[in-house]
């Protein structure tokens, strides 16, 4: 046990302090529920959960159960499996709603993030001659940029004229709330859809979702969010925050595995909006008559009505393993630890007093995700590669950003300490 006195919120720059913080961490046992990658037999310092979350040790058992039921029951497993496949996605509904602060009928796990984004835009991006613009971040994740531009072209408009891109003010790295509101107020009459990432993938900036939604709705705009870097990261309250829709992936902070099935939120005010256009598939058809195989589509109520096909059971099983862990840990506790970890990371970086890098993530811990982004104007890629060779796994984004994500489920304060020690030595 460490002899360092424990004082929550008061950081020190020695390793004994990191050890003491870990000893007092109420979530410390959750680290043992995940496989930590190794290099040369030693655990890595894995700070890349914003790209791919780690595998829960229980995932194999969840998947194995479905493989056994498939082997023993074949098609009958849809009805007779230990967890029947027909309603399997609903095993995740309550926990998903809990995770994002929604009502169960407002969420569904299905498809991939970009597929869900396209499905939502089919329904909620309805451009007219006078209102056809989409507001996004200039630094939005490329997949969102591609999807948005393709939807604009699909409706016969020109992205060069229809896309409004928010960029930080000169000399700044992040967007200001009042800046976003000003653009919405000035151009709201022409904006059909506001689509922002709840956490910017490059800077780690977290946005005020309720404030943006309120500003957008006041101007008659539809509001949606990409939660790829927020689901399983921020303590979301989607129902109360009020966006029309949101989409997210499950392979980052949700630890569902590479390419895991994604999630979707549709606010309850649209639950029975059968007048909304949508691309349809048989799994979104009302359950009571789905197998009558009739020619006319009748949508299920709520988010489930946007489903297309029966879901991949093995992928759902892997996600269940992680979601059960999230349910036990609780997002409020996880987010509290996340704020502490990123604050500690920022503290240690500033303590180096190095001129070789700058921190681009907001300093207020409530304005960032589980991520601190570091700008390295010189030799940053080589530095990232060196850290990887030393067992410190983080993430490089061109042209000059090193992303570091201490994930509260499995990262420790000592992980953060070891990263900064190795990073400072390499940067100098």
CATH number of residue 222's parent domain:
3.40.640.10
What digits encode the pLDDT tens for the residues 117-154?
Answer: 999 999 999 999 999 999 999 988 999 999 999 999 99
Are 396 and 260 in a shared domain? Answer: no
Give mean pLDDT, residues 233-260: 98
Classify residue 347 as left (phi > 0), alpha (psi -120 to 50) or beta: alpha
Q: How far apart are CA 274 and CA 277, in angstroms?
A: 8
Evaluate whether 374 touches 340 at the Cβ level (below 8 Å).
no
Evaluate whether 155 touches 91 at the Cβ level (below 8 Å).
no
Are 176 and 281 in a shared domain? Answer: yes
Query: Which residue, of 298, 326, 354, is where some domain finishes?
Result: 326
pLDDT (0 to 100) of residue 111? 97
Q: How far apart are CA 201 and CA 56, in angstroms?
A: 24
Mean pLDDT, the chain, integer: 95
Domain CATH number, residue 394: 3.90.1150.10
**pLDDT band, residue 3 (cuts 50/70/90):** very low
CB atoms within 10 A of CB 293: 8
Q: Give Cβ neighbours of residue 380 (< 8 Å, ≥ 6 apart).
A: 396, 400, 401, 402
Are 250 and 292 in a shared domain? Answer: yes
- Whether the predicted pLDDT of 275 surpasses 90: no
Are 375 and 233 in a shared domain? Answer: no
Percent of the chain clearing pLDDT 90 (strictly above):
93
- Whether the predicted pLDDT of 197 surpasses 60: yes
- Whether the predicted pLDDT of 8 surpasses 90: no
Window from 3-12, 177-186, 207-216, 319-328 with minimum mean pLDDT: 3-12
What digits encode the pLDDT tens for the residues 28-53?
Answer: 999 999 999 998 889 999 999 999 99
**pLDDT band, residue 9 (cuts 50/70/90):** low
Are 137 and 179 in a shared domain? Answer: yes
Report the Cα 284 to chain-centroid distance in Å.
24
Evaluate whether 192 touches 132 at the Cβ level (below 8 Å).
yes
Evaluate whether 192 touches 126 at the Cβ level (below 8 Å).
yes
pTM, entire model = 0.95
**pLDDT band, residue 6 (cuts 50/70/90):** very low
Give mean pLDDT, residues 172-199: 97
Query: Which residue, of 297, 326, 355, is where some domain finishes?
Result: 326
Are 254 and 340 in a shared domain? Answer: no
Q: How far apart are CA 77 and CA 79, in angstroms?
A: 5
How would you label 132-171 residue by residue, b for 16+ Cβ within 10 Å and e otherwise? bbbbbbebbbebbbebbbebbeeeebeeeebbbebebeee
Residue 204 lies in a domain: yes
Q: How far is CA 237 from CA 129, 151, 191, 233, 330, in A?
A: 34, 28, 25, 12, 14
Give mean pLDDT, residues 379-391: 94
pLDDT (0 to 100) of residue 2? 43
Evaluate whether 232 touches 211 at the Cβ level (below 8 Å).
no
What total of structural domains would you count in the chain? 2
Evaluate whether 53 touches 256 at the Cβ level (below 8 Å).
yes
Residue 70 lies in a domain: yes
**Cα dihedral 127, 133, 138, 142 in deg (nearest 10):** 20
Percent of the chain clearing pLDDT 70 (strictly above):
98
Q: How far is CA 370 from CA 59, 150, 174, 201, 277, in A?
A: 23, 31, 16, 11, 36
pLDDT (0 to 100) of residue 274? 81
Give mean pLDDT, residues 325-333: 97
pLDDT (0 to 100) of residue 310? 93
Domain that residue 19 falls in: 15-43+330-427
pLDDT (0 to 100) of residue 4? 46
Beta strands 191-197 and 222-226: pairing type?
parallel
Are 319 and 364 in a shared domain? Answer: no
């Amino acid at each position: 046990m460490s002899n360092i006195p424990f004082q929550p919120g008061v950081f020190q720059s020695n390793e004994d302090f990191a050890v003491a913080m870990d000893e007092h961490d109420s979530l410390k046992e959750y680290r043992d529920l995940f496989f930590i990658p190794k290099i040369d037999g030693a655990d890595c310092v894995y700070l890349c959960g914003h790209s791919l979350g780690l595998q829960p040790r229980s995932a194999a058992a969840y998947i194995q159960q479905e493989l056994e039921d498939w082997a023993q029951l074949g098609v009958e497993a849809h009805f007779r499996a230990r967890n029947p496949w027909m309603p399997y996605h609903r095993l995740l509904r309550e926990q998903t709603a809990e995770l994002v602060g929604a009502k169960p009928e407002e969420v569904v796990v299905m498809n991939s993030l970009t597929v869900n984004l396209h499905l939502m835009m089919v329904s909620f991006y309805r451009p007219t001659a006078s209102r056809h613009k989409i507001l996004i971040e200039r630094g939005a994740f490329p997949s969102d940029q591609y999807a948005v531009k393709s939807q604009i072209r699909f409706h016969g408009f020109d992205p060069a004229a229809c896309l409004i891109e928010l960029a930080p003010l000169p000399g700044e790295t992040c967007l200001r709330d009042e800046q976003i509101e000003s653009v919405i107020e000035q151009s709201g009459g022409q904006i059909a859809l506001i689509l922002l990432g709840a956490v910017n993938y490059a800077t780690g900036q977290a946005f005020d979702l309720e404030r943006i939604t309120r500003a957008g709705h006041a101007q008659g705009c539809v509001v949606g969010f990409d939660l790829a870097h927020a689901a399983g990261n921020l303590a979301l309250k989607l129902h109360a925050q009020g966006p029309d829709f949101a989409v997210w992936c499950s392979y980052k902070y949700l630890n569902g595995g590479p390419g895991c099935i994604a999630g979707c939120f549709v606010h309850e005010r649209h639950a029975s909006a059968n007048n909304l256009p949508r691309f349809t598939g048989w799994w979104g058809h009302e359950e009571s008559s789905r197998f009558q195989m009739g020619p006319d589509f009748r949508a299920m109520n709520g988010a489930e009505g946007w489903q297309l096909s029966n879901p991949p059971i093995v992928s759902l099983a892997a996600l269940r393993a992680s979601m059960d862990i999230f349910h036990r840990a609780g997002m409020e506790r996880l987010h509290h630890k996340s704020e502490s970890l990123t604050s500690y990371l920022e503290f240690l970086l500033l303590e180096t007093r190095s001129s070789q890098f700058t921190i681009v993530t907001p300093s207020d811990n409530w304005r960032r995700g589980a991520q601190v982004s570091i700008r390295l104007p010189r030799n940053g890629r080589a530095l990232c590669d060196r850290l990887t060779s030393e067992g410190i796994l983080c993430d490089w984004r061109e042209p000059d950003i090193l992303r570091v994500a201490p994930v509260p489920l499995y990262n420790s304060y000592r992980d953060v300490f070891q990263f900064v020690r190795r990073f400072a030595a390499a940067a100098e």
